[in-house]
Amino acid sequence: MNFDNTSKNKKLGLSLLFDAIGFIPFIDLIWAPTSAYLMTKMFKGNKGKIAGAISFIEQILPLDVIPTFTLMWLYTYVFKTTKETIIEVEVG
């Protein structure tokens, strides 16, 4: 699965869908590794790997009340600040 060209709004929709799937009882053994894989593919780098591990642990335990995908989306697109690089070019 490739989520590289997926817009942030589509990722939000997928996050809500994946969280809803995670709330379905009795599919935890199948959903835990699947959710970890999807998390690492949706959110790249170390943050995706950490979120994947958290998602796996949260799904494998009987604690399916945390919307992990949606929280990760909020962290990535709302709360996380990125440094803006300004390059000055002298003309003339």
Measured N-to-C along each axis, helices 45-60 and 28-42 cross at an angle, to the nearest 10 degrees, of 170
Indicate the number of domains in the chain.
1
**CB neighbours of 14 closer than 8 A, spacing ≥ 6?**
3, 6, 42, 69
pTM over 0.75: yes
64 belongs to a structural domain: yes
Q: From CA 39, how far away is CA 70, in angstroms rounded?
A: 11
Q: Write the pLDDT tens digit of every residue in 32-81.
A: 999 999 999 999 899 999 999 999 999 998 777 889 999 999 999 898 76
44 belongs to a structural domain: yes
Range of the domain at 26: 8-79
**CB neighbours of 48 closer than 8 A, spacing ≥ 6?**
39, 40, 41, 42
